[in-house]
Structure 1
Amino acid sequence: MMRYQTKLLITACLLLALSLSAAGLAYWGVSQSHSYLSRSRIAHQELERQLQLSRHSQQLFKAWTDTLLTGISDRPLGAAYLHQVIESDLAELDRLTQTELAMVGSEERRMETAELDRLNAIKSEFQHALDQLGEVEQLRSRGRPDVAWSTLLALLKGGIDKKLNELIEVAVADETAEVVRIDADAARLLSRLERISQIHAVLAILITLGLVMLLLQRLRAPLAELLRGTRVLAEGDLSHRIAISGRDEFADLGQSFNRMADDLQSHQKALQSAHANLEAQVAERTEELHQANQSLRKVDETRRAFFADISHELRTPLTVIRGEGEIALRGRNKPVAEYKNSIARIVEQAKHLSVLVNDLLFIARQGAGAARLNLQTIDLGNLLEKVCGDAKVIAHPKAVDITYANGSAEELVHGDPARLRQLFMVLLDNAVRYSNSKGEVKVDIASAGGEVRVRVSDRGIGIAPEELEGIFERFRRGGNASEHNEEGLGLGLPVAKAIVEAHKGRIEMNSRLGEGTTVTVALPASPAEGVA
C-alpha cells in the first residue's frame, strides 16, 4: 500500500502541474493575443497608409494635369509637398511590410513577399508617371506647346495614372481583406482561449475535488479507528488494540499505539505488583532507616573518638614541650648542658607534632583533590632498595629479616620521591612492628598491565576479617594491633592510602589472623625519559 507521504507528494505534483499548465496557457494566450494585436495594428496602419497614398497620388496628378491644361508655366502649388508626402507614405508602407514579414510564419511569408513586390511596383509606376509628366513640361518649356499638348492628350487618353490606381486599389483591397482576416483570426483565438480556459478550469476543479475526496475517503477510516482507540484507552481499557493493516503512516501509528498500550498495560501490572509489595518494602525501608540511624550513631561515636584521639595525641607533645620549657625556666640558673637537654626534648616533640600535623593536612588535601606533589620520573626499584636498607635499622631490635627482590633492571613511575619513600616506610614499619621476633618481611616489585606493583608481606599477627574493612580509616587501630604494640596513632595506613591515591594508584590489603598480612601497591608505569 502506498504511503500517505507519497500520496500527498503525488497530489502536490498534480496540483503543481495544473497550476503550471494554467500559467503556460495564460502565457501562450497573452503571447498569441499580443501577436495578433500587433499584426492587426500593423495591418490597419498599412490600410490607412494605402488609402492616404491613393488620395495623395490623385491630388498630385490632378494638380499636374490642371497646370498643363491651363498653360500655367510654374509648377503646381503643393506639388512638392504632395510628392514628399507620397514618398513618406511609400517609405512607411515599406517599413510596415518589412515588420510584418518578420512576424509572420512560413505559410504567410509568400503573401507578404507578394505585397512587398506590389509595393515596389507602385513605386516604379509612380516614378514612371512623374517622368512622363516631366517630359510634357520640358516640351512646353522649350517652346513646343503643340507637341506638349498632343503628348498630354495621348497620356490622358491612355490613362497616365490608371495602372497606378489599379495597383493601389488592389493593395487596398488585399490589405482590407488581410485586416478582416487578422481580426477574424484574433476573434477565433480569443474564443478558443476562452473555451480552453473553461475546459482547463473545469478539469482542475474536478481533479482537485477528486484528489481531495480520495484522500478524505482514505483518511476517514484510519482516523476514526485511531480516535476510537484513544477514547477507549483514555477510559481505562488498556487491553484494546487498534486494527489497522497495511504499510502506510497510519499502520505505523497504529503499531506505535498498540506498543504504547502494551507498555501501559505492563506498567499497570507492575504498579499493581508494586502496590501489593508496598507494605513489605515500607517495612524493609524502615528497618534500613533504623540500621542507617545506628550507623550514623556509630559514625558520630567514631567522630567523637577521632577528636578525642587527636586531642590526646596533640596534647601529649604539647604537654612535654610546655613541661620542658617550665622546668628550664623554673628556679635558679642551671648548667648549659641541662638547658640543651630541655631544648633538645622540646625540638624532638615539636618535630613529632609537625609530622603529625603534616600527615593530617596531606590526608585532608588529598580528600579535597588538592594534594601537593613534586612529580618526577624515578626508578621505583632503586627507591625501594634504599627504603629497605633504612628499614633494617628498625627491624634489627626484633631480629626481623627484610628481603627485597627486584625482577627487572628499571621500574619507572612518575611520582614524588619523598612521599613514595614515606609510603613504603610506613608499610615496612607496620610489617616489622607486627611481626614476631625473628620473623621475615618480603618486598618484591614487578610490572604488569601498564602498572608497577610492589608487595610487602609479613608473617605476623594478621588482622581480623571484621577489622580489615576499616583499616585505612584515620586513628583506627585493630584490637589485635593495640594488644601487640601500644605505640602508634592509627595514622600510618591512612597516610599511605592518601599518597597512593594522589599518584592515581591503588592499594590493597589481604590478611589472615595469626598468619600474616600482604599489602599490594599498584602505581601507573611511566615511559623511559629522564630518571631522577
Structure 2
Amino acid sequence: MFRTRLSLAFAALVALVFVQAGFVYWGANRVNDYAQHSRLASDILSELLELSANKQRLRVWASQRLMNAEASVEVRDQLVTRIQSSAGKLKGLARRDHALWIEFSAREDTPIPPDVPKLVAVTDLLDQNITAVQSRLMRLTPMDHGAEFAAVWHELNEVFDMAGGRDLRELVNGAIERQRVVVPEARAATERGLDALRRQAIGMAVTMLAVAAALALHLNRRLKQPLDRLLIGTQALQAGELGHRMAIGSRDEFERVAESFNQMAAELQQHRKAADEARHRLEAAVQDRTAELRVAHDALQRVDQRRRQLFADLGHELRTPATAIRGEAEIALRGQDKPVEEYKQSLARIVGGVGQLTGVIDDLMLIARAEVDQLVMQPHELDLLVLLGEVAEQAEALGQPQGVRVLLEPGAAPQGRLPTELPVHADAERLRRAVMIVLDNAVRYSRPGGAVRLGWQVSPREVMLLVSDEGIGIDADELPLVFERFTRGRRARAYRADGTGIGLSIAQTIIAAHQGSIHIDSRVDHGTQVRMVLPLLPRALQALSEGLSA
C-alpha cells in the first residue's frame, strides 16, 4: 500500500518534469525563431545600406569617368565586386527570412507579410541590374569637350536605376525603410518571447515546488510514526535489549518490516544465549592453550633470531671473498700490460677466491637447511706458512685502493730457529676466511698509507698468529663487546659507515672450531693487535723438540 503511494508520487513528479521540459522546449524554440528573425532583419538592413552606398560610389566613379577626371579601372572593379558580394548575401538573407516566415505561418497560423516576398523579388532584379551596370561601365569612355553630357548621363542613370522595367532605386529605398521599421519590431518580439518564456518557467517551477511540497508533507506524515517505531527498536537492540518487540497492526509494508524485526530479535536472543555458553567453554579452552602458545611463541622468537643472525652471516661471508676477487682483478687490469705469467698468477688467485666463495655458499646453504649456526668443517693437514703467504697477497690487494701495505713478518721460535713449515690440522678455506676477516678489518680501519703486519710466534704446542695495524683503534669500554654479533664501535661507525659487525664473531667461531682461541688488544689512535692461537700437529711438536735439544 505504501509502495503504491510512493510510486504515484514519483510518477506525478516525473510527469510535471516532462510538462515543464515541454513548455521550456516550446518556448525556447519560439524565442530562437524570434531571435533569428531579428538577426536576419538587422543583417538585411546592413546589406541594403552597404549595397546602396557602394552603388552610389560607383555612380560617382562613372561621372568622373565621363568628365575625363581621374577614375581608375581598379576602383571600378572593386566597387562592382562589393556590390555583387552584397547582392549575393542579400539574396541569401532574404530567402532565409522568407523560409522562416513560412515556418511561422504554418506553426502559428499567421499570414506572411507582403514585404517579405517583395524583398526576394528585389534581390532577383539586383542580379540583372548589376550585370547591366557592369556591361555599360565596361564600354564607358571619357567624353570630348563639347559633347552632349546630359544625354549620356541620363542613359547611365537609366542603367543604374532600372531593372525589368521597374525603378530599382525606388524599390531598394523602400526596402531600406521597411527594414528600418522591421528591425525594432523583431527585437521587441524577441524580448516579448523571452519574457513569456521566463514567466512560463517561473510558473512551472512554482507549480512543481508546490506539488513536491504537498507530496513531501503527505509522505512525511505517513512515514514518521512507523519510522520512529523502527528507530526505537534498533536502538533497543543496539543497547542489548533483545527482548524488545515492535507493535503490529498497520497492515502495510511496515507491518511486514515489524514482523521481520521481531523474528530477528528472537533469533538474536537465542544466538546470544548459545554464544554465552560457547564463550564460557572457549575461555576455559583458551586458558588451557595460553601456556602452550606462550612456550611456542618463545621458541619461535628464538628461531627467528637465529634466522636473522644466519642471514647476516651470509651477507658478510659472501662479501669478503668477493672483495678479494675484485681487488685481485683491479690490480691485474691497472697500469700497462704485464707479463703473461703475472696474469696467470692473478687468474689463479681469482680462481682460488671463486672457489672460496663457492665453498662459503655451499656451507651456508647447508646451515640454512639444517637451521643451525654451526660451521661445517672439513679438516686436513696443511702448511700454515703457505696459507699465510696466500692470505697476505689477498690482503695486499684489498689495501691497494687506499694505499695500505700488508707485510708478512715471521715471528719468534724456540732457540731462535724458525721452522720451514708449520703443519696444522685445519679446514683450509675456513681458516683462510678467519684470517682474511681479521686482515680485512685491519685494512679497512687503517689510515691511508699505513701498514698492516701479519706474523706468527711458535711455542712447543701451538702457534700464535699476530695481525697488527696502526689504525683508529677501539675504545677500552667496547673491547669486551667486539665478538658479539652486530656490534660496531663508535669509532668504527664514525670512520666507515658500511659494515655489519659480525665478522669477528664469525672468525671467533672458526678459530674455536679448530680448538683455538682469539684475543684482541687495542689502543685508541695507536692501532689494534689480534692474536689467534692454533694447536700444532704432533709432527710439528717433534720437530720443535728436536730443535730445542740441538
Task: State the TM-score bracket (shorter-chain normalisation).
Answer: 0.3 to 0.5
Superposition TM-score, scaled by structure 2 size? 0.38
Superposition TM-score, scaled by structure 1 size? 0.40
